[in-house]
Chain A
């Protein structure tokens, strides 16, 4: 044998052996022989102190939907909204002219409130719902140094309403919007004459003030008044509307703003020439965008005076109601701004287990209170159909209950609670969120004693939702709030 052959043989052998693939397999044999230096434990006994707080200054303007109505909640009391909005100028309302160019006068027929609600609602739709619309007597204007309107913002309105009537809310049916039908058919096609064949809410405003307003608008058109030439004049003239529920209403609902889905419609006819006597209309939509976008907002008021847990004790943001004072319940409520606050004071104690250790997983779990919700009337906060993620997120906070940063997940976006549905046993449906990196950072860097977490609806949307959640936190119950930490203890 030549030396070179031998070298080749050695190389070939080494390649042959190197190519075996057992690196990718899992080998189990011998696991009982090795003393593991570490132990993996599940700890769910960390103390969680929970309470309910109320947040000030929730922004409720700039959203693309209006929150309307009222609900009476077993736990949270009486919740009412007043929706404020201004009517869009949208190019004004020009006096019509004939084909020869002569001005045509028009005559007022009626003023109609139209809305196409969303399919979602909260409460009982079987009762008739009262709706009251008033014209504002003062212009909606931002206070100095403010950029938005809040849940507590309010403006004066005329005493006599434009509309005060009852109707039945049928959110699913009434949500069906078809532009052609909404416009009484396409031009030259079907003549709907005066009838409205759409499915949406269509209520004729027959109050004297509404008729007077309609006539005033028509007169302004006929006289070619400034108000239809100048946006500012228009807003000075009409100022805005407020849509209110009656005190016996039982449902809170929502209607999209813009796209012709929330508006006043003025019916009129021309008095001369070709189209004389033919029904025509002009829509005044609630403003959804542009410079007046922020002027559509919702005012929330909540009467908690007779709530079983005495939630009227929450007045200012600094107020804090320990769950022990509220029958071991905590509360989350959109619009009104209730948040659940938790403090987990002893996370750092994990470090005392073993010589070292580490967090493998930490999950915060909370159960909605039994019978505090049902699928039909009082659903749990909305969750994505597939991922089951909600808009319930967590914020770092302090003694004064201020919002600090949200608690981020892996990709630095806010982590949201997920609903874990239990279809067989709805009482066992629970919410969970992965707090691994939060717990790990507390273990690694520590935390101030008063550092706590606010749980509630994402700050950016809390002003535009009626979602609410009652959370069970009885320390003696299996359904208490739990932080389940999978922890590795190094021996």
Chain B
């Protein structure tokens, strides 16, 4: 009976968290942007990073931990602790300053970053379901333009909203003692909206509004592997990832509304492609508490097409490093000794070229993981500082700081209590 109560309570808590997460996601989809960068105009939007235990941009493909849902490499899920149900919810706040020429502008964005849960379903088999943004559009540019030959000005606003999301079902299997394999089944869905509005400056009610929407939903997948070489206390882990190029079904709607009437309307069905991805990683476990890792990721965007047309994108290379130190050796009593410390750094070439310049991003981050009382979970906080783009060639550079907060809740399932 008590056990039933307990599981009812767990389910209740799970439902509450899910609802809260969904509320935040939906508010995020309507009111908040995940980005404010003008570069989010390009491609499918600004690529959102997917990270485990969050210092963003960290190497992760060769990392595994019994309490961490490593979605990036599903093979890692095979290492999940048994008896543990993990619920994860993440948000990040980004404070950025855009600089172009002599102008600058600041933006604050709130970003839902992840909702996930996972558990070990069977010995050597871990499962996780997660929902996270994949790309985001958030540019909002207003410009006052002089009309050649006249005396009037128009105000032109370009806004991008929405983006692509991924709902991922991750499975990790331990094949042998040293080898784990994993597969992510991914459902991509989203609505990339681009609006352009033009109105005469100063009064006139007449407006011109061009709305273009890319509404899509489709399936793809990727696979991952981790192989561990053990040397007494230490081990070396090799991580790998592969994703094939797959077309996602999409519908493109373009509508022009002028003076309150629709003057043009076009809907086309087609596909856009997500790229072939190769990921390679090397990790070193020193004892049980310290891990170093380095990742290399290649995404072949240059070969992708959107509605049978070249995407005008370039291949993305991403290099990242990370180290994680779990200060708790199992006997810690002091607060600082109970924390997990994480450091990461990355260099990302991005997938776009604007005015012949690659728009790269680089950054570093550090964070701590604080265990909740009675092993109920872990709260991860991290800070990231980075820079995207460059000011040369009249381009835009974004300097940003980011705070990530991630809540991990652990529920102990499947424990049969003995009664005395």
Are these two chains actual partners, yes or no?
yes
Which chain A residues have a beta carbon within 8 Å of chain B's beta carbons?
1-3, 6-7, 9-10, 13-14, 17-18, 20, 22, 26-34, 36-38, 40-42, 44, 355-361, 410, 436-437, 440, 443-444, 484, 486, 488, 490
Task: Report B228-256 residues with CB < 8 Å from chain A CB.
Answer: 256
Q: Which A residues touch B167, using CB under 8 A?
A: none
Please judge, given known A-B contacts A7-B20, A486-B150, whether A31 and B143 are in contact too, CB under 8 Å.
yes
Interchain CA distance A26-B141 in the complex, whole Å = 7
B140 to chain A, nearest CB (A): 6
Residues of B within 8 A of A359 (CB): 206, 258-259
Q: Which residues of chain A are near B210, meaning CB under 8 Å? A: 37-38, 356, 490
Known: A6-B379, A14-B91, A437-B259. 18 other contacts (CB 8 A): A3-B376, A7-B20, A18-B32, A28-B105, A28-B143, A29-B98, A29-B99, A29-B104, A30-B37, A30-B100, A30-B139, A31-B158, A34-B141, A36-B158, A36-B196, A410-B205, A436-B204, A440-B206
Cα(A2)–Cα(B377), bound, Å: 10
Among B107-115, B176-184, B217-225, the one that faces the other chain is B107-115
Does B310 have its Cβ within 8 Å of any Cβ on chain A? no
Q: Is B354 an interface residue (CB 8 A)?
A: yes
- Please indicate the chain B residues that have their CB under 8 angstroms from the CB of A357 in the complex: 256, 258, 263-264
Check A1/B373 contact, CB under 8 A, given A33-B395, A490-B210.
yes
The distance in angstroms between the C-alpha atoms of A443 and B210, with both chains bound, is 17
Closest CB in chain B relative to A353 CB, distance in Å? 12
B332 adjacent to chain A (CB < 8 Å): no
Nearest-neighbour CB distance to chain A for B256, whole angstroms, equals: 5
CB within 8 Å of A: which B89-111 residues: 89, 91, 93, 98-100, 103-110
Interface residues of B (CB under 8 A from A): 20, 24, 27, 31-32, 36-39, 41, 89, 91, 93, 98-100, 103-110, 139-143, 145, 147-150, 152, 154, 156, 158, 196, 198-200, 204-208, 210, 212, 256-259, 261, 263-264, 354-355, 370, 372-373, 376-377, 379, 394-396, 405, 407, 409
B263 close to A42 (CB less than 8 A):
no
Q: How far is the CA of A425 from the CA of B140 in the complex (A)?
A: 44
Given contacts A3-B377, A490-B210, contact A44 B149 (CB under 8 A): yes
Interface of A is mostly: mixed
User: Which residues of the other chain, B, contact A6 by a CB distance below 8 angstroms?
Assistant: 372, 379, 407
Asked, given contacts A1-B373, A1-B379, A355-B264, whether A29 binds B396 with beta carbons under 8 Å apart, the answer is yes
29 residue pairs from A and B, CB less than 8 Å apart: A1-B372, A2-B373, A6-B379, A7-B20, A9-B405, A10-B405, A18-B31, A18-B110, A22-B36, A22-B108, A27-B36, A27-B140, A27-B142, A29-B105, A30-B100, A31-B143, A33-B354, A34-B38, A34-B41, A34-B141, A356-B256, A357-B258, A358-B263, A360-B198, A360-B200, A360-B206, A410-B205, A484-B150, A490-B264
Give the nearest-CB partner of B209 in chain A.
Answer: A358
Chain B nearest CB from A9 CB (Å) reads 7
Note all chain A residues with C-beta closer than 8 A to B258.
357-360, 440, 488
A359 to B107, CA, bound (A): 34
Chain B hits for A360, CB < 8 A: 154, 198-200, 204, 206-208, 258
Tell me the bound Cα distance from A26 to B93 in angstroms: 21
Chain A min CB distance to B53 (Å): 15
**Known contacts A14-B110, A41-B148, A486-B154; is A27 also within 8 Å of B141 by CB?**
yes
Contact check: which of B139, B200, B405 meets A13 at CB < 8 Å? B405
CB pair A33 B396 closer than 8 Å? yes
A486/B396 in contact, CB under 8 A? no
Q: Report the Cα distance A37→B212, complex, angstroms.
A: 11
Across the interface, do A17 and B354 meet the contact criterion of CB distance under 8 Å?
no
Other-chain residue from A28, A29, A37, A437 in contact with B196 (beta carbon distance below 8 A): A37
B256 touches A436 (CB 8 A): no
Is A33 touching B38 in the complex (CB atoms < 8 A)? yes
Kindly state the separation between the CA atoms of A484 and B149 in the bound complex, as whole angstroms: 10
Give the complex CA separation of A358 and B376 in angstroms: 60
Going nearest first, the 5 A-B pairs with the smallest beta carbon separation are: A30-B38, A358-B258, A356-B264, A17-B110, A26-B142
For A356, the chain B residues whose CB sits under 8 A away are 210, 256, 263-264
Contact A13-B145, Cβ < 8 Å, known A1-B379, A488-B198, A490-B210: no
Output the least CB separation between B51 and chain A (Å).
18
Cα distance, A29 to B139, chains bound together (Å): 10
Chain B residues with CB below 8 A from A41, complex form: 147-149
In Å, the complex CA distance between A484 and B147 comes to: 12
- Residues on A with C-beta less than 8 A from B377 are 3
CB–CB A33/B200 < 8 A: no
| Known A10-B405, A17-B110, A440-B258; contact A33-B150, beta-carbon cutoff 8 A | no
Point out the residues of chain A lying under 8 angstroms from B198, CB to CB. 38, 40, 360, 488
- B-chain residues with CB within 8 Å of residue A436 when the two chains form the complex: 204, 206, 259
Residues of B within 8 A of A44 (CB): 149
Shortest CB distance A441–B (Å): 9
Q: Are A443 and B91 in contact (CB under 8 A)?
A: no
Q: Are A17 and B264 interface neighbours, CB within 8 A?
A: no
Across-interface contacts of B158 in A (CB, < 8 A): 31, 34, 36
Q: Chain B residues with Cβ under 8 A from A33's Cβ?
A: 38-39, 41, 354-355, 395-396
Which residues does chain A contribute within 8 Å of B142, judged by CB atoms? 26-28, 31
Is A28's CB under 8 angstroms from B141's CB?
yes
Tell me whether A29 and B149 are in contact (CB under 8 A): no
Tell me the minimal C-beta distance from A29 to chain B in angstroms: 5
A443 contacts across to B, CB distance below 8 A: 263
Chain A residues with Cβ under 8 A from B204's Cβ?
360-361, 436
